Structure 1
Amino acid sequence: FGLRQLDLSLLSQLWSLNESIQEFRQLLQDQEDRVPSSSPSSEDGDEGGTYHGHPPPPPRRPAPLLHHHRPPRPPRPLRPPPSDESPSSEEYGAV
């Protein structure tokens, strides 16, 4: 039962992350459409990849971070003992 709640929370986090990535991409598209020829365009010209080089990296970076956060979370619902063993939970929180 606890795992199902964890799955739902992870799903909601992934969904919100996906939405924010989409919003971020839209913002980048809007900025590029508004200012096609500005100081960043000269830097892009040196790299060779004009606007196509910039939008992909931001969405890629948050995804690996999420994968690193996934493994530590499952033990938490399994660890908290009944109220009888509250000292052990305090030790776990201190560590």
Structure 2
Amino acid sequence: MKKLILASVLSFVGLTAMAQDATTTEVDNTVSEVTTVQDFQEINVADLPAAVVEAVQKDYPTATINKAYKNESDQFKLELSLKDGASGTVYADAEGNWIEL
């Protein structure tokens, strides 16, 4: 008797799953160029304050700033690459002081 009830329930579930209407959904393929990483939003390297650029040139003379990000507290996340192939991320405030995050 238990097997008959179980078989009936499974049959009912299977038939109701197949009876559902196929609906089409419209997909929005809009691509956004804004990148947010840990509350940092990507900015142009040219938009960095002069103090931050000078700090990088002083402390990392062989470094190139690949990407720059800014958060609401005017803190900057910089992705650097060195001429020897090493790369890393540093954080600075608007005055060019290095900070730990």
Q: Same fold (TM over 0.5)?
A: no
* Larger Rg computed on CA atoms: 2
More strand by share: 2
More helix by share: 1
Higher relative contact order (CA 8 A, sep 6+): 1
